[in-house]
Amino acid sequence: MIFTVANQKGGVGKTTFLINFAYYLKDFKNKSVLVIDTDTQANCSYSLCNANIIGDTYSLFTDDVNILAAKISGIKKDEINLFKSTIDLSNENEFDNSINYLQNLKYLYTLFDYILIDTAPVLSNKLIYSLELSNYVITPIELEIYSLQGLSLMLNTIFNIKKNRNNDMSFLGVLPSRVITTNKRQSKNLEKLYSEYGQDLFLPFIKYRNDLANASASQTSFFKSNSKHKKELINVFDTIYAKM
Ligand SMILES: Nc1ncnc2c1ncn2[C@@H]1O[C@H](COP(=O)(O)OP(=O)(O)OP(=O)(O)O)[C@@H](O)[C@H]1O
Ligand SMILES: [Mg+2]
């Protein structure tokens, strides 16, 4: 399965979701997991510093599939495997040819139960190609006006790709993240979204929890922390997992 988190809006919880969903799939569902960090910010590569690095994401665009297959070694099914981000990914002009990326992902697809792709907050070729290959897509948002404003553009992009280039894609939903339940503005925004798009488009939300930010900052699994909010996140992930 190829799974992409997509939102061209920054800071909405894409990476935080993806890191913890990777731990969830590995530790609670016994799945083999590969994470591909396509974002030059490399936040995901930073927080997954203990992952088993099996390559640079850049090489997925430059190497053909025979080179990739010859290079790959040391996959560890009981660890999170990672293609890490490097600064080479920043020159968008180099990514106007998707052939290697598409072939390499199809090959990697045969080696792992789940491939999770973290993407940058920009409508780039790297995001478009990832969506073209994805079985599942999720769009995290923040319940604040700037995030809401960009949502219809992001959904249009995703559903256009689904219609024209990837009929197999299943959009799992919009995932409100960093939600402060006591904040009236956010509650109102959520109601507004439900009435505008229909509640079915939305997944249960992830609350704002300091422990989640702490786990990412300290490069450890939230599920290995002593947070009392672990069950809450597991419940959200169980809902997502049940939809796949
Ligand atoms: N549920 C949460 N509770 C508390 N803090 C959170 C939560 N989700 C994310 N954060 C924090 O919010 C910030 C932005 O989150 P994150 O980096 O996951 O967003 P992003 O969408 O990946 O950003 P970018 O678009 O820049 O890649 C980070 O500092 C992260 O630790
Ligand atoms: Mg990110």
d(CA 70, CA 120): 28
Distance between first and last Cα of the chain:
9
Percent of the chain residues past pLDDT 70, beyond the cut: 100
Could you identify the atom of ligand 1 that is nearest to the CA of residue 216? 31
- Pick the closest to residue 10 from 41, 35, 34 (CA basis): 41
Is residue 8 helix, strand or coil? coil
The alpha carbon of 16 and the centre of ligand 2 are apart by a number of angstroms equal to 7
Residue 91's pLDDT is what?
Answer: 78
Question: Residue 24 is encoded by which pair of tokens?
Answer: 């969830």
User: Which-ligand-closest: CA of 37?
Assistant: 2
Q: Is the CB of 216 under 6 A from ligand 1?
A: yes
The alpha carbon of 213 and the centre of ligand 1 are apart by a number of angstroms equal to 7
Hey, what CATH class is 2-242 in? Answer: alpha beta
- Pick the closest to residue 177 from 4, 20, 3 (CA basis): 20
The alpha carbon of 190 and the centre of ligand 2 are apart by a number of angstroms equal to 22
The answer to whether 42 and 84 are in contact (CB under 8 A) is yes
Q: Is the CB of 37 under 6 A from ligand 1?
A: no
Is residue 164 helix, strand or coil? helix
Q: Is the CB of 121 under 6 A from ligand 1?
A: yes
Residue 140's pLDDT is what?
Answer: 98
Percent of the chain residues past pLDDT 90, beyond the cut: 93
Is residue 163 helix, strand or coil? helix
Nearest CA to ligand 1 atom 7: 178
The answer to whether 140 and 177 are in contact (CB under 8 A) is yes
- What's the pTM? 0.97
Q: Is the CB of 46 under 6 A from ligand 1?
A: no
Nearest CA to ligand 1 atom 11: 213
Query: Tokens 């025979």 appear where?
Result: 66
Contacts for 212 with CB less than 8 Å, ≥ 6 apart:
16, 20, 206, 222, 227, 229, 233
Q: Which residues pair with 36 in a beta bridge?
A: 83, 117
Domain boundaries, the chain: 2-242
Kindly report, residue by residue over 50-109, the tens digit of the pLDDT. Answer: 999 999 999 999 999 999 999 998 999 999 999 999 998 887 767 777 899 999 999 999
Q: Is the CB of 223 under 6 A from ligand 1?
A: no
The alpha carbon of 215 and the centre of ligand 2 are apart by a number of angstroms equal to 15
Kindly report, residue by residue over 113-126, the tens digit of the pLDDT. Answer: 999 999 999 999 99
pLDDT > 90? residue 19: yes
Kindly report, residue by residue over 174-231, the tens digit of the pLDDT. Answer: 999 999 999 999 999 999 999 999 999 999 999 999 999 999 999 999 999 999 999 9
Q: Is the CB of 14 under 6 A from ligand 1?
A: yes
Pocket probe for ligand 1: among 7, 8, 14, 16, the residue whose CB has the most ligand atoms within 8 Å is 16
Could you identify the atom of ligand 1 that is nearest to the CA of residue 210? 4
